[in-house]
């Protein structure tokens, strides 16, 4: 059925705006953000996804503060209004494309958190060099995704259990992606989980001085040789993409061609304790970063691998809220447990202090489990 969006000259396939190319049930159109205060006292993350093949939109928010993680999640039906970025009490508004967004979580009875945040970026968006589309298992498309990220600052307020916290000068990242995503295992009986995703995923977006950078490295399975390339490499080797950018209209991005990781983990082997990463650019330069995690958000709270709130699945009218004691070992183990079997490259999010030489910056690191 045609919708109001079909009045605009924005079509890219021979269908109305309710449908997507190929009609793959794993087709998604998503946004994500994570901001943190530089004193390490607060992190806020959010996700919103539109899934045209299942006529569903969902949204979730997580707040980490004072040894607790607060999660809120909503779902609604999409009925000719996929451009309305509102799900339950969560909304995402474009104030100025590539420059300013507003993310809000409205207060509600029985809900411990709410926020009103404005994210602004003076940096160019950082795009993948080529779509992430190497994931094939026989005849099945596993991953066919386009993505870009931005780093910026955030201001506004967060209210936690009745206490309003002013946010000014927080730093963070946002991401937009669309296409086919691997959610095998999370949605039962959707398909046989592939073996070619990789053993570990490392994603970073950060700012340090006048430039911002983004990198994504997927490590190989087994004993395949570690070689650099793009995320469209399908040989079983390590796959890398990324770039460094300046401010808007400040020249072309400097592409990343390789990444060497030296990471230390907590006793559970999943949470980052510290470490370093060295990026190699296409011009032969090396850029070394030291990482110090300040806060942690467990992305199960955003629906990544949650057993009762699955991305893509139809869930009209769903509203959920949870609070986790992240000082409790058992609670953390539950948040880290991949009980849904979801193939998830973004299971743990760390807001980090990032040092390069004598310069200190901040950014977000996302890890698989």
CATH code of the domain in which 243 resides = 2.40.370.10
> Which three-class secondary structure string do you get for 305-334?
CCCCCCCCCCCCCCEEEEEEECCCHHHHHH
Residue 301 has a pLDDT of 96
Q: Which of 265, 147, 106, 249 has its CA nearest to residue 200? A: 265
Q: State the Cα–Cα distance between residues 91 and 48, nearest whole angstrom.
A: 9
Q: State the Cα–Cα distance between residues 272 and 269, nearest whole angstrom.
A: 8
Name the least confident of 221-230, 243-252, 304-313, 335-344: 221-230
Residue 303 has a pLDDT of 92
Domains in the chain, number: 1
Angle 188-58-146 from CA coordinates, rounded to 5°:
80
Name the least confident of 128-137, 204-213, 235-244, 302-311: 128-137
Residue 156 has a pLDDT of 99
For 7, phi and psi rounded to 5 degrees? Answer: -75, -15
Name the least confident of 86-90, 197-201, 252-256: 197-201
pTM: 0.93
Residue 225 has pLDDT above 50, yes or no: no
Q: State the Cα–Cα distance between residues 357 and 360, nearest whole angstrom.
A: 8
Q: Which helix (H) or strand (E) holds 336?
A: helix 329-336
Residue 250 has a pLDDT of 92
Residue 19 has a pLDDT of 83
Name the least confident of 54-68, 156-170, 258-272, 318-332: 258-272
Residue 142 has pLDDT above 90, yes or no: no
Residue 230 has a pLDDT of 55
For residues 270 and 237, the model is more confident at 270
Range of the domain at 32: 4-367
């Amino acid at each position: 059925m045609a919708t109001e969006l079909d009045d605009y000259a924005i079509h890219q396939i021979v269908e109305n705006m309710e449908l997507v190319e190929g009609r793959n049930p794993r087709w998604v159109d998503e946004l994500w953000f994570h901001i943190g205060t530089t004193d390490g006292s607060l992190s806020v993350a959010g996700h919103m996804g539109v899934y045209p093949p299942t006529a569903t939109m969902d949204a979730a928010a997580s707040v980490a503060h004072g040894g607790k993680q607060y999660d809120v999640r909503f779902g609604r039906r999409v009925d000719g209004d996929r451009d309305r970025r509102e799900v339950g009490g969560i909304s995402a508004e474009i104030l100025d494309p590539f420059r300013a967004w507003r993310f809000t979580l409205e207060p509600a009875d029985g809900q411990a958190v709410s926020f009103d945040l404005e994210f602004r970026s003076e940096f160019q968006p950082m795009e993948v060099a080529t779509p992430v589309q190497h994931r094939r298992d026989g005849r099945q498309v596993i991953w066919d995704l386009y993505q870009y990220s931005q780093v910026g600052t955030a201001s506004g307020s967060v209210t936690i259990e009745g206490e309003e916290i002013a946010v000014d000068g927080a730093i963070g990242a946002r991401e937009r992606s669309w296409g086919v995503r691997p959610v095998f295992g999370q949605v039962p009986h959707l398909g046989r989980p592939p073996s070619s995703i990789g053993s570990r995923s490392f994603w970073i977006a950060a700012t340090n001085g006048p430039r911002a950078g983004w990198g994504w490295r997927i490590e190989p399975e087994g004993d395949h040789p570690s070689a650099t390339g793009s995320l469209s490499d399908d040989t079983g080797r390590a796959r890398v993409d990324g770039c460094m950018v300046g401010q808007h209209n400040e020249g072309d991005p400097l592409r990343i061609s390789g990444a060497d990781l030296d990471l230390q983990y907590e006793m559970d082997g999943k949470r980052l304790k510290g470490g370093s990463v060295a990026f190699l650019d296409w011009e032969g330069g090396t850029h070394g970063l030291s990482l110090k995690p300040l806060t942690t958000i467990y992305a199960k709270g955003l629906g990544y691998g949650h057993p009762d709130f699955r991305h893509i699945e139809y869930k009209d009218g769903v509203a959920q809220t949870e609070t986790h004691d992240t000082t409790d070992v058992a609670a953390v183990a539950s948040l880290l447990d991949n009980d849904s079997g979801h193939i998830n490259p973004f299971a743990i999010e760390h807001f980090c202090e990032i040092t390069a030489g004598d310069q200190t910056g901040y950014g977000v690191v996302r890890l698989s489990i």
